[in-house]
Structure 1
Amino acid sequence: MGERIVLVEDHLLFAEAMELAISLRGHEVSRVVPTEARNLTTLVDSILRRKPVLVLLDLDLGPLGDSTDIISTLTSAGSAVVVVTGSTDEADWGRCLAAGARTVVPKSRPLPEIMGVVRRVLNHERVIDLGERERLVTVARARKDELSDAAQRLGLLSPRERVVLAQLMAGRSVADTAAAETLSQATVRTQVKSILAKLQVSSQVAAVGLAYRAGWTPGDVRSASSR
């Protein structure tokens, strides 16, 4: 029997194809379904109990979030990690590489190509160009810095401005927001101008886009009219 491989994947058809391809190459393979784990700790425990040489790890763990937080734990335990993902976001790839993944492989790649990566990892061969690895890690770091800066700017918003931005994120116009918050349209426009200035953007669309990219939520705010 070949090397012990764990596949962390909840998409049944993809998982079955991978399991078959791996077993046909003489390796011992088992699957861990992330959505069946209570939390990341139990997921990691379930993986490591199998003592894998290689973990093929889905980036999207469903309710548990993404898998970047467990990559370093798995590699520290002696397992090589290859992230297999549907994401095409280079910042996502860079985060995985920075966390210790050997490489990132899109699920859209042909199965023989994915298995070629598996073979090279098991043979301790290089699976990603060093320049490309550094480029992707740099993209991830730039994204992290961008989001940190955006979070700082969003933190400058007053409670009323947070309410107005939340209304804009819900797709409401200035008129709709004014009616919902029992304010004049002039007051709402003033709030919007202040939001744009603090966020350093030039339009409502840009403000909403920045808030979504930063994962911002208005938090515990009451209606602007109650303040």
Structure 2
Amino acid sequence: MLRHGRLNRVTIVEDHALFAEALELALSLQGLEVRRVDTEAEGLTQNRLLTEVLRSQPGVVLLDLQLGPGLSAVPLIRPLSQVGVAVVVVTGSVDRSGWGESLFNGARTVLPKSTPLSTILATIRLIGEGRRVLTREDRERLVDDFHRHRIEEEDRRARLATLTTREREILAELMDGRHVREIAQAYVVSEATVRTQVKSILSKLGVSSQLAAVGLALRGSRDTTPARREG
């Protein structure tokens, strides 16, 4: 339940200026007190962004998940929720595991950007009335998707971590679309040597083809992405 007097106070955190301006205007015309946080400010960090949001003392925050390079909105959800702010994610992302992560961290619901304004307004009103805005079944299903994705990601990272430095370099070459002959020439080794290394990569990753190995690596997290050979 929102604190008394805060229901009409809505803060928008969105890096798509046109969408944010349209949403701000539409909500303002409905009598809501709307503030938009500048996500393009120079040197903006997640901590500064959180401070700016809290400074507006919102009852509801409409939060986009994708705020541009190097700035994720997900870490904002839990601290906002913990101080009684109702976070409604409004996003263009169709990643169900990302939706589930938002809900797991305390978001009340997740709405696509294609959601009609009337639905957004209804969501804000239901929150103010202390009513559920997402069925328990849908919430549990999305959170399960998030947990499943996290387990799969941890498994991919563990498999990638078993590769030697040279195997990671070879995998990076495969990711760049190079053939065994090209890789052998670049490393001044025989094609047989490269094929042996590729075979070891496939075995350690538990896949049966170079294409599958590349796919697994591309789905891996940043810190496990195979490093490119220098020089």
Which bracket does the TM-score occupy, shorter chain normalised? over 0.9
3-state SS, counterpart of residue 93 of structure 2:
coil
User: Where do residues 155-194 of structure 1 align in structure 2 (5 Å cutoff)?
Assistant: 155-194=161-200
Tell me, yes or no, if the aligned pair for 1:159 and 1:221 is still in contact at 8 Å.
no
| Number of the residue aligned with 2:220 | 214
Tell me, yes or no, if the aligned pair for 1:86 and 1:107 is still in contact at 8 Å.
yes
One-letter code aligned to 2:194: V
| Number of the residue aligned with 1:90 | 96
Residue 70 of structure 1: CA displacement? 1.4
1:34-82 CA distances to partner (integer Å, 9 max, x unpaired)?
Answer: 2325210000000000100001001012123321111001111221100
- Among 41, 44, 52, which residue is 1:38 paired with? 44
| Number of the residue aligned with 1:25 | 30
One-letter code aligned to 2:191: Q
Q: CA RMSD in A?
A: 1.7
Tell me, yes or no, if the aligned pair for 2:80 and 2:86 is still in contact at 8 Å.
yes
Distance of 1:222 and 1:161 partners within structure 2: 14
One-letter code aligned to 1:34: T
| Number of the residue aligned with 2:13 | 8
Tell me, yes or no, if the aligned pair for 1:54 and 1:122 is still in contact at 8 Å.
no
Distance of 1:73 and 1:15 partners within structure 2: 23
**Which of structure 1's runs of 4+ aligned residues deviate more than 3 A?**
219-223
| Number of the residue aligned with 2:113 | 107
Q: Unpaired segments of 5 or more residues in structure 2? A: none
| Number of the residue aligned with 1:79 | 85
Tell me, yes or no, if the aligned pair for 1:163 and 1:222 is still in contact at 8 Å.
no
Tell me, yes or no, if the aligned pair for 1:168 and 1:204 is still in contact at 8 Å.
yes
| Number of the residue aligned with 1:60 | 66
Q: Unpaired segments of 5 or more residues in structure 1? A: none
1:135-161 CA distances to partner (integer Å, 9 max, x unpaired)?
Answer: 110110010010001101100001110
3-state SS, counterpart of residue 63 of structure 1:
coil
Tell me, yes or no, if the aligned pair for 2:91 and 2:111 is still in contact at 8 Å.
yes
3-state SS, counterpart of residue 64 of structure 1:
coil
Tell me, yes or no, if the aligned pair for 1:40 and 1:64 is still in contact at 8 Å.
no
| Number of the residue aligned with 1:139 | 145
Moved more, 28-37 or 190-199: 28-37
One-letter code aligned to 1:168: L
3-state SS, counterpart of residue 84 of structure 1:
strand
Distance of 1:7 and 1:142 partners within structure 2: 30
Residue 222 of structure 1: CA displacement? 5.2
Tell me, yes or no, if the aligned pair for 1:162 and 1:221 is still in contact at 8 Å.
no
